[in-house]
Amino acid sequence: MTQHWSAPGAAGPVHSTVPVPGSKSITNRVLVLAALADEPSTVHAPLRSRDTVLMASALSSLGVLFADREDGGWDVTPGLLRGPADVDCGLAGTVMRFLPPAAALAEGEIRFDGDPQARTRPMGAVLDALRGLGAEVDGDALPFTMRGTGSVPGGEVTIDASGSSQFVSGLLLSGARYDKGVTVRHAGKPVPSLPHIDMTVQTLRAAGVRVDTGTADVWHVEPGVIGARTWHVEPDLSNATVFLAAAAVTGGEVTVPGWPAVTTQPGDAVRGILERMGCEVALSDAGLTVRGPEKLAGLDVDLRDESELTPTVAALAALAEGRTVIRGVAHIRGHETDRIAALVNEINALGGNATETEDGLVIDPAPLRGGLWKAYADHRMATAGAIIGLVVPGVEVDDIGSTTKTIPDFPGMWDAMLTGAR
């Protein structure tokens, strides 16, 4: 159900400390590994949002046990994976691409479906690869059905992962449980969002899985045990960028506590991006602090590896002086919506000057006015509208409820930030 929202304006420079929930990307990787581990695992500080709850529910339907902890985490006990089961992927790329390789290890029939928009998202690379590794799959996109025998032969497979790094990550996460492990070779244009594959490899190695990444565009996971462990999930840095953007556009100061000094999360790249746009950025024991300038500067930036930041950067660019060129993000046309077309449409609907390119968009300065900002059921489109609404009166986001995909209560967090709650 959509939720119309009047984006609140900032009365002045925003000054706040904003703790953010755990990383969706890390949480859903950890949940898959915990479900396939040899013993029970504990997950501390996971994100509990629509995408991660969908993952937990899907794994539960296959026989994995989840017990809530008082600290908000989960105790995860692996079970004998089996169907029949119906998996709701919602609009979560991590569920629709990470779970089928794990479900291929189950016995019985597993049916996958999701939101109407999810049925248009690319899935062929993963499903064709699973067939090549010995799994039985009917269909090439949502909805599709898997019929498992309790094991997967595994082996080597070549895919085109230029549409999403999730195609590679999904296969790697379950590969250790395949009889021969898995070797994934990429053939095609460069893989986008490579830091997300690095995140997958790091998470696998933390669970004791042996992964060889010595050859470019080839990843090999040896067969073996996935070890149980206690996981601690980092704050979601991509979600955090939205709150840091509030400091950038209002000339204020926002601190996000717990920002890791070393991370594989692509959202960490926002530090350099904001500095190039004129912000002061400081990382300390207190967290990451951003101080906004009197006026933001435009920039030319390649976001191939950090494409999830595109809506936030585009919102900043629409309020900046000078041209901004965003490159390397052609693949985001296949995300929750065609994000390039959506950003251009919505910026221009508010009086802006944005144009599409083959692999991104160009944004030139133009005075913005209030009006309806469409989210397209896309959480990052919705938060981009919220950023613009801080300094442009009368912005209305048509579906702020879409933010529950990765932030359980975005409107509440936004209001708390604007009141300076610390």
Q: Residues annotated as binding site? A: 24-25, 29, 93, 121, 164-166, 193, 308, 335, 339, 380, 405
Active site residue 308: yes
Q: Which of 330, 283, 282, 277 is nearest to 300 (CA)?
A: 277
Q: How many residues does the chain have?
A: 422
| CB proximity list for 272: less than 8 A, separation 6 or greater | none
Angle among Cα 336, 172, 168 to the nearest 5 degrees reads 40
Annotated binding site for phosphoenolpyruvate: 24, 93, 121, 166, 339, 380, 405
Q: Which of 356, 331, 353, 327 is nearest to 341 (CA)?
A: 356
- Tokens in use for 314? 């585009």
Which phi and psi angles does 250 have, rounded to 5°? -110, 0
Active-site residue among 308, 321, 336, 346? 308
Residue 339 CA to residue 173 CA, distance in Å, equals: 27
Q: Which of 130, 108, 164, 195 is nearest to 336 (CA)?
A: 164
Peptide bond into 311 cis (omega under 30): no
Residue type, 244: L
The residue with tokens 């984006």 is: 7
Q: Which residues are catalytic?
A: 308
